[in-house]
């Protein structure tokens, strides 16, 4: 049976759903329990921050949300698709069609121009009929960068610009879920603020966002903060005035 279209996702149908998710690496004395019975629901339009110390399981949780890994136990659904039942190729297609990634290290291809970096995800995507995909010009405007940057290479732009290009690339396939792994970790305060204003704007536009961060100031932009410890969700918080709900600056 074919996967449901991302365009059918509603607030009643979670974009991401995890129940009883456990992840174990290794065997015997070297066995590591990275996740232990995690339940998490992310609904359409939510902006969620995941926080926790090193080794808490937050990166493993993000990898499972991004279909880069599968749980040892439990249920995972992305856009209504049961991930553990998918083959490797099906998970790859699910990632390319439904999920956008923003990493701390940018991961732009140095030998390609900014335009070519933005076009690359669409080259790999098996286009679904009726899905409108944005142009590089539309993407670069969405992250508040001038179109003149499209013909430059990543080595010719600043770190803050490179991270905004990486966000634009993550939006290239109109994903249902946008994931960020410490997206401001390599940026100074000014560029971190600029990047978070982009996430705020995307949140106001209805994007579903999950960010992993160590930075409390970044987490304050979220509508919900999920704190992870020892492979478990230890508590959830809702900032009283999420930055993503304030007016644009």
Asked if residue 240 belongs to a domain, the reply is: yes
Could you tell me the residue range of the domain that residue 115 belongs to?
Answer: 44-68+86-245
Closest by CA to 207, choosing from 184, 178, 169, is 178
**Domain at 94, CATH number:** 3.40.50.300
Establish if 14 belongs to a structural domain: no
> Can you give the pLDDT at residue 126?
54
Q: What are phi and psi of 94, to 5 degrees?
A: -60, -45
Decide if 36 is inside a domain: no
Give the mean pLDDT of 121-149.
83
- Would residue 8 count as lying in a domain? no
Residue 158 within a domain: yes
Closest CA to 231 of 82, 37, 27: 37
pLDDT score recorded for residue 218 = 94
61 lies in some domain = yes
Tokens at 231, concatenated:
């492979």
What is the predicted pLDDT for the residue at 8? Answer: 40
Tokens coding 224 = 């919900």
Per-residue model confidence (pLDDT) at position 130 = 53
Tell me, yes or no, whether 171 lies in a domain: yes
Residue 27 token pair: 């065997």
Contacts of 210 (CB under 8 A, 6+ apart): 16, 42, 48, 49, 50, 62, 65, 177, 178, 179, 180
* Domain membership flag for residue 30: no
Q: Which pTM does this prediction carry?
A: 0.87
User: How many domains does the chain contain in total?
Assistant: 1
For residue 27, pLDDT beyond 70: yes
Cite the DSSP H helix spans in 54-158: 58-65, 88-98, 114-124, 136-142
The mean predicted confidence, pLDDT, of the chain is: 89
């Amino acid at each position: 049976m074919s996967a449901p279209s991302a365009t059918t996702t509603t607030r009643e149908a979670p974009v991401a759903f995890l129940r009883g998710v456990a992840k174990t690496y290794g065997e015997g004395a070297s066995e590591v329990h990275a996740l232990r019975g995690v339940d998490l629901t992310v609904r359409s339009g939510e902006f969620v921050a995941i926080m926790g110390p090193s080794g808490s399981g937050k990166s493993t949780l993000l990898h499972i949300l991004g279909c880069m890994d599968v749980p040892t136990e439990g249920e995972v659904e992305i856009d209504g698709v049961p991930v553990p039942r998918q083959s490797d190729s099906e998970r790859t297609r699910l990632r390319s069609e439904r999920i956008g990634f923003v990493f701390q290290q940018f991961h732009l291809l140095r030998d390609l121009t900014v335009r070519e970096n933005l076009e690359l995800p669409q080259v790999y995507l098996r286009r679904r009929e009726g899905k409108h995909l944005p142009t590089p010009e539309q993407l670069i405007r969405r992250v508040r960068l001038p179109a003149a940057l499209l013909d430059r290479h990543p080595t010719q732009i600043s770190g803050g610009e490179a991270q905004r290009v990486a966000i634009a690339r993550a939006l290239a396939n109109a994903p249902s879920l946008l994931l960020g792994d410490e997206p401001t970790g390599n940026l100074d305060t000014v560029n971190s603020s600029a990047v978070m204003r982009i996430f705020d704007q995307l949140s106001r536009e209805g994007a579903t966002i999950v960010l992993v961060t160590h930075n409390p100031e970044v987490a304050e932009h979220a509508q919900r903060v999920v704190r992870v410890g020892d492979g478990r969700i230890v508590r959830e918080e809702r900032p009283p005035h999420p930055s993503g709900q304030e007016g644009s600056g």
